[in-house]
Amino acid sequence: MPSRDDDFVPVSSGRQLTADDVRADMDAVNGLDAKSDLDLHLVRMLTLHPNVKVRFRSQDLSRLDDATKQALLADMNRLLGIRPLRSTSG
């Protein structure tokens, strides 16, 4: 972490994005009561990548155990070319 000299004036403020700037499909999952961070991550992944979602039909997360969810996530990561993060749990 470059923490001595490589820092910046750390205040950034956003704009109100227009409808064209955001995806419409995330609205459908806003307000969803995810049971865990893993569930939330999977919901986001399945929404952000509908083409990948097609490969995993009938994924009712509430019916899956954590091991199955982790396997689902690993498959999605492989398909999307996402390497595991080392600084967290991968």
C-alpha angle 72-75-80 in degrees, rounded to nearest 5: 125
Residue 65 engages another protein in binding (rule: CB under 8 A): no
Residue 54 engages another protein in binding (rule: CB under 8 A): no
Residue 2 engages another protein in binding (rule: CB under 8 A): yes
- Take residue 48 and report the two structure tokens written for it: 């952000």
Give min distance, CB of 5 to another protein, in A: 8
Residues 6+ apart with CB under 8 A from 80: 49, 52
Q: Are 67 and 80 in contact (CB under 8 A)?
A: no
Q: Binding residues for another protein, per CB under 8 A?
A: 1-4, 6-15, 17, 20-23, 26-27, 29-34, 37-38, 40-41, 43-45, 47-49, 73, 76, 80, 82-90
